[in-house]
Amino acid sequence: MFAPRSLARCIHLQQPKINLAAGCHVRPIFRHSYSTNAVIPLSYTLHEPPNATDKAQPPIIVMHGLFGSKQNNRSISKMFAKDLNRPVYAVDLRNHGDSPHATKHDYPAMAADVEHFIEEKGLKDVTLLGHSMGAKTAMAVSLRRPELVANIIAVDNAPIEAALSSSFGQYVQAMRRIEGSNVLKHSDADAILKEYEPNVVIRQFLLTNLTRPVKEQPTGDNSPVPMKFRVPIRTLAKSLDEMAGFPYHPDKIRFEKPALFIRGTKSKYVPDEAIPLIGRFFPYFRLKDIDAGHWVISEAPEKFREAVLEFLQPVEDNNI
């Protein structure tokens, strides 16, 4: 039985309308802005299994949430590469991390990027694992192109239209203010962000996006260059409503393969009212509750790890 929890807004169905450490390889992308309908080449880090065999193992693609990057998923990617002996690709979704920027930021566009990534790399029987925005991207890919995907793991999000936490809008305000203040140090940026977000862990997460641009200085000019966010704040601010939505309908499209939905019991993003709808989109889904908020992976890493291994290891055993 599930304790009833409700959304602040009603659920609504959208109608059809380098080589690093051993076993780790990074693929950077030369960043520039792309046209509205272009597919984006995604930057990624490949975490290879320590005991690779001649037989190719099915890969896992890990996708971050809003304002995140592949850097945030480095530890869990290395962990699953080791635990499952499978290659793990941690990707930067469009407008995040080292991937290029584009004016369009919605789930069909992000799904198209991931589909292109899978096909370009020749990957087969892929597991898609995503948190928050990455979870909805995983759902979108599996619904659009089920032949590319073996199973999905969606972390603290559901295939519904539901208002984002007001925190995300506040983060945008803070990031704009930080850039407008021409800060020179992370500590100065943190002082501003602290007015919007008291949790130091979340502030550190957001400030991983703050970098110092490489800029040619006139001869003799050694003045410091103000720090800037590597994410396109204006584009993401305009896309918050898109991130809250889900542009698919279960009467038209379903994913009839295994799916694991992990939700934080202290989070509002997967309310009990959404569970029947999850079943309509994903008839072979399982639900795992973890005592955590929205940031399930960082708040309860061991419980998260156990849930993922329990879901994926039977598949591994059947392939032996």
Which active-site residues does the annotation give?
132, 294
Distance (Å) of CA 280 to CA 81, 162, 264, 287:
31, 17, 21, 14
Q: Which of 297, 289, 250, 255 is nearest to 271 (CA)?
A: 289
How do beta strands 44-47 and 24-27 pair? antiparallel
CB atoms within 10 A of CB 194: 13
What's 272's DSSP letter? G
CB atoms within 10 A of CB 15: 9
Q: Which of 204, 172, 174 is nearest to 192 (CA)?
A: 174
Whole-angstrom distance, CA of residue 95 vs CA of residue 67: 9
Q: Which of 218, 236, 284, 234 is nearest to 256 (CA)?
A: 284
Whole-angstrom distance, CA of residue 157 vs CA of residue 154: 7
Q: What are the backbone dihedrals phi and psi of residue 263, each rounded to the nearest 5 degrees, phi first?
A: -125, 145
How do beta strands 44-47 and 88-91 pair? antiparallel
Angle ∠(140,252,281) on CA atoms, nearest 5:
55
Q: Which of 41, 81, 61 is nearest to 123 (CA)?
A: 61
